[in-house]
Amino acid sequence: MKTITYIENALKNLNSELRELMFKTNVAMKQRDDEVLLIQQQKRVLEQTLEDLTHLRDNPPKSVSACKTNEQAQS
């Protein structure tokens, strides 16, 4: 899946950004904290998405018909 590769690359880029940001001394502490928080939030979303996609790739649904629509579930 290309999507997994893109997410893995994005995570590597975010990690690099975090490392750079941690060693910047010319940025105010508050500003750096805000930027680190934003990057951490982005990382959490990407990590969860990566986990979900990897699970789906490794454990694909048995069949499309296994998913019930609301109408089928109510019958």
**Residue 40, domain member (yes or no):** yes
38 lies in a domain? Answer: yes
**What are the angstrom distances between the C-alpha of 46 and each of 14, 68, 71, 73?**
10, 28, 33, 32
In a domain, 13, yes or no: yes
Enumerate the H helices of the chain as residue ranges: 2-23, 29-58, 70-74
Assess if residue 25 is contained within a domain: yes
The number of distinct structural domains making up the chain is: 1
Tokens 């019958």 locate to: 75
Q: Taking residues 27-45, what's their average pLDDT?
A: 95
72 within a domain of the structure (yes/no): no
**What's residue 63's pLDDT?**
75
Domain that holds residue 56: 2-62
Q: What is the model's pTM?
A: 0.76
- Does any domain span residue 70? no
Tokens 């996609």 correspond to 53
